[in-house]
Amino acid sequence: SGVLNVGHGAVAASAAVCFHQLRQEHGVPWPVAAAVAILGFGVVAGLLMEQLARSLAHVPTSQKLVATVGLVVAIPALVALLYGPSAKRFEPLLEQETAFTISGVNVTTENVVVVVFGLLSAVALYAFFNRSRLGRAMRGVVDDPDLLGLSGVGPARVRRMAWLIGCSFAAVSGILLASAQQQLDVTFLSLLVVQAFG
């Protein structure tokens, strides 16, 4: 889409807040809360982000960057207004029992599941981008959207799908990271992408 999304961590934080509210505040079973936070919130966030990216398509790069930085500022502030500024306890999603020990470091069942999920996701995304028509179209829309349009594939639809996939993965990562830390710290999650760039 041509937008460097610094607000990716803010989307992850928002999904973690949604999951926390459903699961811990309203007693919704975790699979249902996860489905709502990932598939529901992730899709809605993806559609909103795609609209934002489309409205920023013809502005200078500095304005695109400032718009996504605005998400990093706005989302933690909104969450602080609604739920208070302090980090909340986040009940672990998966088992915290030690699965095995490597050089004196305990590796929990949750750590194993997260690593396996990450590896499977990386392999699936690699295959998706290299073998599927939509994956190749996503790579093509970055290089030359007009040429992609001539091949009969709508660049807007491809960008929309990219935002949906990206925001859904952001939602998963926010929930898993909050679970691993056993606390919901919206500021930390929102700044995660900034730290990753560093």
**Average pLDDT per consecutive 10 residues, the chain (198 residues; last block may be shorter):** 80 93 94 95 92 84 85 87 86 85 90 94 95 89 77 85 93 92 88 75
Contact present, 110 and 179 (Cβ < 8 Å): yes
Contact present, 75 and 10 (Cβ < 8 Å): yes
Buried-state track 70-92, b at ≥16 Cβ within 10 A, e below 16: ebbeebbeebeeeeeeeebebee
pTM over 0.85: yes
Provide the H-helix boundaries in the chain.
Answer: 8-20, 30-35, 42-55, 61-83, 109-131, 133-143, 145-150, 155-181, 186-190, 192-197
pLDDT at 138: 87
Helix axes 8-20, 42-55, angle to 10 degrees: 150
102: which strand partners? 105
pLDDT at 41: 93
pLDDT at 37: 95
Contact present, 37 and 23 (Cβ < 8 Å): no
Phi, psi (deg, nearest 5) at residue 95: -60, 140
107: which strand partners? 100
pLDDT at 71: 85
pLDDT at 43: 93
